[in-house]
Structure 1
Amino acid sequence: MIFKIYYQDSKKETPRRENTRSLYIDAESKPEAIKRIEDHNPDFNLEQIELLTGKALEYEQQGVNYKLVEY
């Protein structure tokens, strides 16, 4: 399953919408995706995890910023 993770680079700063970034990860479940992100990027402030399927996944894959993160 492909998940889109919305995050801020630091837990120490107050979250601001302008600083929200995203990445894509392939994981078996939402908890596994969260664990893998937190294990490799402990400073990230995770905001939202979205499962991408069907047309939403197709749309994201067409974007220039689409790249699966490999851990």
Structure 2
Amino acid sequence: MIYKVYYQNDKKRNPKREDTHSLYLEADTEVEARAQVEAHTEHNIEFIEAMEGSTLAYEQQNPNYKLTEFNE
């Protein structure tokens, strides 16, 4: 499944909506998606959203859509 992860770049600063970024990744579960991001980045995760069906198709039309892959 594809997940959209909303995050802040830094865990040390208070979150600001204007600084929220997102990335897309493939994982079996939301827990696995969170574990991947936490293991490979210093991001402060705000929310993880499952993408499927028409929602995923809409997101894939965005020119900034790109699946993130972490090297083990």
Give, in angstroms, the shift of residue 46 of structure 1. 0.2
Whole-Å separation in 2 of the counterparts to 1:67 and 1:21 = 13
TM-score, scaled to structure 1: 0.97
SS of residue matched to 1:69? coil
Q: Deviations over 1:41-67 (max 9, x none)?
A: 0x2100000000110000000001100
Give, in angstroms, the shift of residue 14 of structure 1. 0.7
How many residue pairs get aligned? The number is 70
Q: Which stretches of structure 1, 4 residues or longer, exceed 2 Å deviation after superposition?
A: none
SS of residue matched to 1:67? coil
Structure 1, unpaired ranges of 5+: none
Q: Deviations over 1:21-41 (max 9, x none)?
A: 000000010000000000000
TM-score, scaled to structure 2: 0.95
Match of 2:33 in 1: 33
Structure 2, unpaired ranges of 5+: none
Whole-Å separation in 2 of the counterparts to 1:56 and 1:33 = 18
Identical counterparts, % of pairs: 50
